[in-house]
A = this chain, B = another copy of it.
Amino acid sequence: MPTTATAAKNAKGAGKAAAYTELLARLRAGATLGAAGSVLSWDQETRMPPKAAEHRAEQLSMIARLVHERMTDPALGELIEKCEADASLTGDPVESANLREIRRDYDRARKLPTELVSEMSETNSRAMEAWKAARKKSDFSMFLPWLEKQVALNLRKAECYGAPAGGELYDALMEDYEPGMTAKQVDAVFTPLRAALAPMIEQVAGARKKPDNAVNTVKAPLDRQIEFNKLIAARVGYDFDAGELAVSTHPFSSSIGIGDVRMTTRYAEDHIPEAVSTTLHESGHSLYEQGLPREERFGQPLAEAVSLGIHESQSRLWENQVGRSPEFWTWALPEANRIFDGAFKKFTPDDVSAAMNAVKPWFIRVESDEATYNLHIMLRFDFERALIRGDMKPKDLPGAWNERMKKDLGLDVPDDARGCLQDVHWSMGSIGYFPTYTLGTLYAAQMWETIRKAIPDLDQRQAKGDFAPLLAWLRENVHAHGRRFTAPELCERLTGNPLSHKPFMSYMEAKLAPIYGL
């Protein structure tokens, strides 16, 4: 069992720093209990029978409480202080980063009363069940009391954390998902992005040339599709001995514990390339988690993801930059024809790529294209910020939603199931999470520029189904560091520039031009 021994081995000057060894062992224990909670959540999402929901909420709440109690134990604070006084640690660039983040997490956790943590956990399980039922019936009124409760709980949480100087309460919530990023900073990136996206979407809408959607009408049985998607996930580097690719209505990745990073995808009888997108997206998340140094540092910040934005950059990069490219399909199409008995013979890699890059405003965020997707995010960002500011009431959400969808995307939302009830996030109490999706999209595009320069034969390698150089670059430059650098630091370090919408726009324009004859 690699507990104290390994922790000690990883702490430079471990002989002196018994406090550090003890600190890391405690973090590992807390994270191990957290891993148990992750198994419960995975089970809840993938198999749990309906009548178990109530008791599952109680189980998860209990584990959340126990983890929180451990992570806020004053003895932990004393150990951190001792370590902060130890020059052998603070002088080490790696361990000092670990310590900096341990301090951050501890101080932050101490601000939340255990009662609140336990109540939030229990509310999340229940609100999620209520949301499922409400969405099924497209009945917002069934979800409204839970949304109100989640907003109220988030307000309490934000007040416990406190707004940063010159900032707003929403910033305190976003800090859970994208540390150091404020609503103002998000605005500063989203505003020019919107300004650049709108004319591009308009231009595409008016284009005479359109991609042919025929590739999305090819049908294939489920078992063959599973085979195809598993082949792809394994090929890009996902380790099936340390995970699985299951099926769920809402695909997700779950980083459970050491050697255990699972993911789900979803299949339709047709739309075979879209299932591949989903699988590559979740593979991107899982490759990041499988690439973190968990064996050595489980429970430590250096074995954790930087932020959800950086996490999403990994999923987007594999889904979009890789998976929607003609190069990827140069390798994947022959495989598809082998598995699907030649069903894709009449299509070229360019055909598939073009169909997968069609821009088409749509009700559902997760089914939207790379361009309009960001408008869905901006809507949610604005609304959740307004809910926390008190500028919007939960009961007014459906009306505001439908109005904004009309304005931004020109769509008449047919019902709340396809409108404001479509996403699970708010039911899970996650407010401040949505902007990280578009941040991830932008991070991915910006990294991709760098990667193309770093791996000159990237296209040729991809066309042969050789994704090893790409994964190696991500492992070395992103995954291996854990939380050593913050997201903005990492971005500058990798790309030489702060985050901008420009690389994303250049990438989109370059690929849409031939497809739409722009």
**Closest partner residue, chain B, to A244 (CB atom):** B49
Instruction: Choose, from A32-40, A178-186, A455-463, the stretch at the interface.
Output: A32-40
Q: List 16 A-B contacts (CB under 8 A).
A: A1-B54, A1-B122, A3-B58, A29-B62, A32-B55, A35-B55, A36-B59, A42-B43, A43-B43, A49-B241, A50-B259, A51-B239, A51-B241, A52-B242, A52-B259, A54-B259
Bound: A3/B62 CA distance, A: 13
Known contacts: A39-B40, A66-B66. The answer to whether A47 contacts B244 by CB under 8 A is: yes
B122 touches A51 (CB 8 A): no
Give min CB distance, A248 to chain B, whole Å: 13
User: Is there contact, CB below 8 Å, between A241 and B50?
Assistant: yes
- Copies, count: 2
- Interface: A63 (CB within 8 A): yes
Q: How far is A50 from B260 in the complex, measured between Cα atoms in Å?
A: 9
Q: State the Cβ distance, A73 to closest chain B Cβ, in Å.
A: 15
A59 to chain B, nearest CB (A): 5
The distance in angstroms between the C-alpha atoms of A43 and B38, with both chains bound, is 12
Residue of B nearest to A59 (CB): B36
With CB as the reference atom, state the residue of chain B lying closest to A43: B39
Given pairs A49-B240, A49-B259, 8 additional interface contacts (CB within 8 A): A32-B55, A32-B62, A51-B260, A52-B256, A52-B257, A52-B260, A54-B259, A55-B258
> Which residues from 327 to 370 on chain A have a C-beta closer than 8 Å to any C-beta of chain B?
none
In this complex, how many residues of chain A approach chain B with their Cβ under 8 Å: the count is 42
A46 nearest in chain B by CB position: B47
Q: Cβ of A243 and Cβ of B54 under 8 Å apart?
A: no
Contact A257 B59 (CB under 8 A): yes
The reply on A53 being an interface residue by CB < 8 A is yes
Chain B residue contacts of A241, Cβ below 8 A: 49-51
**Does any Cβ of B come within 8 Å of A392's Cβ?**
no
Contacts A40-B36, A43-B43; A259 near B59 (Cβ below 8 A): no
Q: For A47, give the chain B residue with the smallest CB separation.
A: B244
Q: Are A36 and B35 CB-contacts (below 8 A) given A50-B241, A55-B257, A259-B54? A: no
Contact with B along A48-86 (1 / 0, CB 8 A): 111111111111001100100000000000000000000
Give A255-278 interface residues, CB cut-off 8 Å to B: 256-260, 262
Residues of B within 8 A of A36 (CB): 36-37, 40, 59, 62-63
